[in-house]
Amino acid sequence: MTSPDEVMLTVFLRHDQSQHLEKIQDQLDERDWWTGFPPEGVEIVSWVVAMGVGQIVTLRLPASRIAAVNVELERRAWGAFRTEFYPTYDFLPVRERLTAESAARRGNTP
């Protein structure tokens, strides 16, 4: 993170399996999903598909933009996806530090 005001938010966009792909794509196109989300000032950290689950999007944003993300998801994603939100953080630097500390305690080098 570059600012103490920044947060990360992971959004699960669960597929609505009662609808076929073309219908979902039509809904997303009608709502300008691909150009309207995420809102301005929000960075996409990752966007992956988990087969059987849906899409998992991790965003980095100023805490003040959380409401804007929520509104855009309500406006553009509802009906095509069920949404879930999780505050997240990048654990990789922490893991690297813990690995080095563990190796040092055991007298090993990582």
The full 3-state SS of the chain, as one line of letters, equals CCCCCEEEEEEEEEECCCCCHHHHHHHHHHCCHHHHCCCCCCEEEEEEEECCCEEEEEEEEEHHHHHHHHHHHHHHCECCEEEEEEEECCCHHHHHHHHHHHHHHCCCCC
Domains of the chain: 6-105 (3.30.70.920)
The band of 1, judged by pLDDT with boundaries at 50, 70 and 90, is very low
The arithmetic mean of pLDDT across residues 56-66, rounded, is 96
Statement: the pTM of the whole predicted model exceeds 0.75: yes
Q: What is the tens place of the pLDDT at every residue in 18-52?
A: 888 899 999 999 999 999 999 999 999 999 999 98
Q: Is the pLDDT of residue 9 over 70?
A: yes
